[in-house]
Structure 1
């Protein structure tokens, strides 16, 4: 694993070597915290790609498709596309060797949509990408991930609600509790109904109520709460609804393995929301469960140094005489500085 990380550090943010905070009830020292660490399956695929070999990445995505591991497939697709943006040689070799491979198609669709989003010519580029997104959707009829990408594409292209509803129905036929598709739909609703956070939370609550207890969709309401707390527009949201969203995510977190890269983003997000709700003890427990795994989201919404921002929040949670803060102005009166 040491060799793996050494090869990956130029492409993912490495450890932030800072002063070591006072130890607190299982919390990690700050100089042990890493940002966006790949899990045990993705790490070797990224190492092989860094060495120019696409075989491990292709095998990984093929395995997720064969097993119907759609949540893993979605996250691996996004990470491999980001890696292909930084180091394209291995991916270009893969596409040349297997131009019709459904796994390569879905990564390319993700890569091209991501590039279009970053461009000032977003609308034009997204129109050009449409055939590729369609081709990815036809790669494997069971796969919801291309439909999540299509929903993100539709949001960037400012597609109308009728078209997005068709995409959503197609995604739900394939995987009715797929978290990535739900997040994409929530983002579209938030963009279309800017400031209508109550409606977005209603959508998230309904989805969570219909999902199994261990599904990541249980974290959708806390994602809607995050959007409200970090937005600064629209009517006030009743505090009990925000607490309910956080409590639902806490119950999910308790079902997931501790100190593991897979649920780290959910716990980082939950930590932010709990801090904003002035629930320091609950937030510190999530830090303990997260272990050494920081994730760019949500901290990159407030800082160009997401790891540094995350570590400051951890420090503030450990301060016995002060109230923890996020360093971001917000909607609730408690915990705001």
Structure 2
């Protein structure tokens, strides 16, 4: 299965930071998504439609993936705007994309997840087939297949469809990595092999170049990772540090990368570098990866940040009180970026 893959190529929260002068935001939208969410809260779908249409027209697949996921998450509690959009434009590929993401997210939370996802699979696949060159609905198809416990042959077929449309799409690679981890418990080296190969083949500025740090996070938390060489985990972190440096500080777009990277660096005992990533992320906390270990990801973010700030700068120490605890992998949802 791994060889086939290698060939194929909640609403934002806000608190006053403890001991800090700035506000801290959880899962804050960027300047493009924010107005669409505000309009949706008022029952208007127009800004969301314009936003997703622009990402499709300009092949901004990473933005499209994240925006569709956030809009679907909002629609779980406030769906009137989406129903109105679907009624006004039943064949709109952007409305269909959000509805497909919403459908899979709702199925994922059910005790009957696998059966519900098998039932939803054909409709989700139809959206993807009709999407032309768009890889984002194929990411949803891959998540659906993982939750439905699809066999290796079937998943590899779907994976080939995804990478044919965009060989370096981060979301599809995350879905494949999560499938590998779930289908082959203990296959930590294989997951890193997949992530490293994807990163090596990608352009310098591609988000998929950070996939190894995602695999490293799995090795260091709920999946353990015994036998994985420390040098590979450090290399994964180093690669992600390089990409993080290319983004501006205090920007919500790279916030999830920096939160995950800080988590991994703390686990590796690289606390000074972890503190630097949290400095770069500024007030932008993200649920992932902190929600792997707690129902209060914002509180955990603040706790780790405070512990890192209390560590004397300029020296590298082993894991201490700010060390993230072992994770709870069952908390992962289908559409995490």
Asked if Structure 1 and Structure 2 have the same fold, meaning a TM-score greater than 0.5 normalized by the shorter chain, the answer is yes
Is 1:63 matched up with 2:62? no
The alignment of Structure 1 onto Structure 2 pairs a total of residues equal to 312
Q: Which of 230-239 and 128-137 deviates more?
A: 230-239
TM-score (norm 1): 0.89
Pick aligned residue for 1:317 from 281, 288, 308: 308
5 Å-filtered alignment, 1:161-172, equals 161-172=152-163
Aligned residues of 2:293 and 2:326 also touching (Cα < 8 A): no
Match of 2:15 in 1: 16
Match of 2:217 in 1: 226
Match of 2:291 in 1: 300
Match of 1:43 in 2: 34
Pick aligned residue for 1:192 from 175, 180, 183: 183
Q: Deviation at 1:208?
A: 0.3
Structure 2 stretches of 5 or more lacking a match? 1-9, 328-337
Aligned residues of 1:49 and 1:57 also touching (Cα < 8 A): yes
Structure 1 stretches of 5 or more lacking a match? 1-10, 22-28, 331-337
Q: Partners of 2:326 and 2:179 in 1: how far apart?
A: 24
RCO higher in structure (CA 8 A, sep ≥6): 2
Aligned residue for 1:87, secondary structure, equals coil
Q: Deviation at 1:162?
A: 0.8
Pick aligned residue for 2:323 from 318, 322, 326: 326
Q: Partners of 2:17 and 2:238 in 1: how far apart?
A: 32
RMSD of aligned C-alpha atoms?
1.5
Is 1:154 matched up with 2:151? no
Q: Deviation at 1:87?
A: 0.2
Is 1:203 matched up with 2:159? no
Q: Partners of 2:301 and 2:79 in 1: how far apart?
A: 30
Deviation per residue, 1:135-185 (Å, 9 max, x gap): 211332110001100000000000011111111111111111100000000
Q: Partners of 1:150 and 1:232 in 2: how far apart?
A: 24
Q: Partners of 1:232 and 1:63 in 2: how far apart?
A: 38
Aligned residues of 2:218 and 2:225 also touching (Cα < 8 A): no
Q: Deviation at 1:18?
A: 4.8
Q: Deviation at 1:326?
A: 2.8
Aligned residue for 2:127, secondary structure, equals helix
Q: Partners of 2:14 and 2:264 in 1: how far apart?
A: 24
Q: Partners of 1:18 and 1:188 in 2: how far apart?
A: 36
Q: Deviation at 1:278?
A: 0.6
Q: Partners of 1:18 and 1:80 in 2: how far apart?
A: 27
Match of 1:24 in 2: none
